[in-house]
Structure 1
């Protein structure tokens, strides 16, 4: 019943990731969130309708589109509690608790770079995006974008052979725009289509900015090729900065309106990019860590060389601990600890567990 419960939870109107996580932390498992007494849901900030929905069985909430998703051999789900939930995405302020997948699930944990830009791109901009995506893909990065017209589509096309990830603002069973249906099919052959929206969710303007936080959240950085003032690509770049990711921009003609976005980003501190090597050199050690960490659990005799990581490692168990417990044992603030936990998780030494907790991974025998 678990998958049905996950889908049902995503169907409750207005129940966003933060309250979904609060429910999981309260009840420990998604199945237990349903058919509970109303009293157990107090103090979670839920609306009356949401509490009423949680009194039902998951089967009473699911739609025909949900049933088709569950029965299809070509669809998949990535849950917050799954070991392969993308570690970078897990650390944004409001990560989705459920991802709907079509294509190659292994794409979830590749080192990604987002390439975004204008829907009304120039011929030069499209050629530039495609060339950068091809070169960066061949260097080992998976290219992430939003399957929109213009720069997004060019980025996906450039990375079709190396693998690309398309994050949708619609349900993963609907392709928007429809003109990209064939491109979407090609993406699933080597890459992955992702959405946080339930099946049969059509295009609505408010969903695309939310989609953008996932594009940046999955990625080590965001490269903006062409963007006018007010472009959604600038929203993605801003979100990347808030999430602690790198932002890159390709400059253009001072006479082109589509250069204004990249030029503003460069003035505000984004890295000016002229070649794929500029991106790779800036990503530096984190890129190398992610590439090597498709790994494996640590060797039995592993000990962190960094003294602070060693302190965190010594404070942890193979049973999950909350960050507050780890911080208390180590004498660190939660802010200090968060960056350390992310780094150790990326190296494959720790695993994120349900309820926002962490545990050691068992050593390889």
Structure 2
């Protein structure tokens, strides 16, 4: 099994541990991670700033961060499973995923870098798929793999399993909702090992994380985010596959759907997607023809970090220091915030504050557990329970 480390030399071993510690910190998600690294110039400086930021946001105790030893332990445990962490700074990190504003800065991977770096198509569909649906998923997956695409799916029953099994020879990527040490469903453990042998299995969650219901939509954004396009084979009106299709559209990905009988409830979601503008396909050649032009021009060159000359970490403030807005500026920003999502640009304009001042106040509130970041760069206060 090959598992090269790509461009990991861009960050030192200590910086890699700091990245893992920061993304595993309480109340720090992918969007907050990016803001912190951009604001303070690196993960180490951001970790030092966390207690002060959270205190100013109204939290008495600082958010819990793993120690260096705990980060080393998780890294060692992953290596014992035959895996490694791939960071957004690494060459092997999936290029299409890198540009999303909620892309995980660190992913745990078992398998081959080549699969991560190849062009990808996601195939999703019903867990209780019909025989025809599984046959179609397998046929499309096999032909897409033969055309040079890596097939991405969620390792679930039904369509996912059929797509993975049909594309094993060319390499396929499975994305888990839980940690790599807690594969789900258990019946697919054998399939996971076969996927690892020629492709890759990926998770953004801690190694021993047990998947919960809320984790599957998070997983779905990675399935669609890695790919140039998403093919929905069978999906009911209310299904995770439709969530994946919606996320794909929001991410600017192509959405394809196979039409189904109006008499089969498992086709209700795919038929609705077609009514809403998804591309109707009846053969893998339809997908390949639509995606070929995207392979001929670079689409994913923007970095989510703003260091000079493409640097991931570039000092902006002394370690541990964080600019503190004046009380009047902070008061105006707080007054503008509510549970209704608003954009950061609006906060800057109406508060007559700088973007840096607004970001600091938002970080304070978020680390105190009082604010959440949403799609489209919007933020909203969390309603107290």
Between the aligned partners of 2:83 and 2:217, the Cα distance in structure 1 is 24
- The residue that corresponds to 2:127 in the other structure is 119
Q: 1:276 pairs with 275, 284, 287, which one? A: 284
Between the aligned partners of 1:176 and 1:24, the Cα distance in structure 2 is 33
Q: Check 1:3–1:48 CA distance in 2 against 1; reply closer, same or farther (3 A cut).
A: farther
SS for the counterpart of 1:185 is helix
Q: What TM-score comes out, normalization by structure 2 length?
A: 0.70
- The residue that corresponds to 1:212 in the other structure is 220
Between the aligned partners of 2:205 and 2:259, the Cα distance in structure 1 is 34
SS for the counterpart of 1:155 is helix
Q: 1:29 pairs with 38, 42, 48, which one? A: 42
Q: Is residue 97 from structure 1 mapped to residue 105 from structure 2 by the alignment?
A: yes
- The residue that corresponds to 1:362 in the other structure is none
Q: 2:248 pairs with 233, 240, 255, which one? A: 240
- The residue that corresponds to 1:68 in the other structure is 77
Between the aligned partners of 1:31 and 1:205, the Cα distance in structure 2 is 32
Between the aligned partners of 1:23 and 1:318, the Cα distance in structure 2 is 16
Q: What are structure 1's unaligned runs of at least 5 residues?
A: 294-308, 323-365
Q: 1:9 pairs with 15, 22, 26, which one? A: 22
Between the aligned partners of 1:37 and 1:177, the Cα distance in structure 2 is 37
How far off its partner does 1:53 sit? Answer: 2.9
CA displacement 1:265-297 (0-9 Å, x = unmatched): 001111111101111111131134479x9xxxx
Between the aligned partners of 2:40 and 2:308, the Cα distance in structure 1 is 21
Q: 1:319 pairs with 270, 286, 309, which one? A: 309
- The residue that corresponds to 1:19 in the other structure is 32
Q: 1:58 pairs with 58, 68, 75, which one? A: 68
How far off its partner does 1:10 sit? Answer: 2.9
Between the aligned partners of 2:80 and 2:45, the Cα distance in structure 1 is 26
1:124-135 pair list within 5 angstroms: 124-135=132-143
1:1-365 pair list within 5 angstroms: 1-36=14-49, 38-39=51-52, 49=61, 51-54=62-65, 57-59=67-69, 61-62=70-71, 65=74, 67-69=76-78, 71-72=79-80, 74-289=82-297, 319-320=309-310
How far off its partner does 1:319 sit? Answer: 2.5
How far off its partner does 1:34 sit? Answer: 3.1
Q: What are structure 2's unaligned runs of at least 5 residues?
A: 1-13, 313-385
How far off its partner does 1:14 sit? Answer: 2.6
Which structure's relative contact order is higher, taking Cα pairs within 8 Å and 6+ residues apart? 2
Q: Check 1:89–1:47 CA distance in 2 against 1; reply closer, same or farther (3 A cut).
A: farther
How far off its partner does 1:253 sit? Answer: 1.4
Does structure 1 retain, via aligned residues, the 8 Å contact 2:26–2:63? no
SS for the counterpart of 2:261 is coil
Does structure 2 retain, via aligned residues, the 8 Å contact 1:66–1:199? no
Between the aligned partners of 2:84 and 2:253, the Cα distance in structure 1 is 28
How far off its partner does 1:83 sit? Answer: 3.0
SS for the counterpart of 1:262 is helix
How far off its partner does 1:88 sit? Answer: 1.2
How far off its partner does 1:65 sit? Answer: 5.0
Between the aligned partners of 1:149 and 1:202, the Cα distance in structure 2 is 18
Q: Check 1:9–1:47 CA distance in 2 against 1; reply closer, same or farther (3 A cut).
A: farther
Does structure 1 retain, via aligned residues, the 8 Å contact 2:25–2:63? no
Does structure 2 retain, via aligned residues, the 8 Å contact 1:10–1:198? no
CA displacement 1:59-114 (0-9 Å, x = unmatched): 2x549655412x42711111122233222112223111111100112211110000
Q: C-alpha root-mean-square deviation of aligned residues, in Å?
A: 2.9
Does structure 1 retain, via aligned residues, the 8 Å contact 2:177–2:216? yes
Corresponding residue pairs, total: 297
CA displacement 1:136-163 (0-9 Å, x = unmatched): 1001110000000100111100100011
Q: Check 1:85–1:53 CA distance in 2 against 1; reply closer, same or farther (3 A cut).
A: same
How far off its partner does 1:235 sit? Answer: 0.4
SS for the counterpart of 2:210 is coil
SS for the counterpart of 1:53 is coil
Between the aligned partners of 1:288 and 1:172, the Cα distance in structure 2 is 34
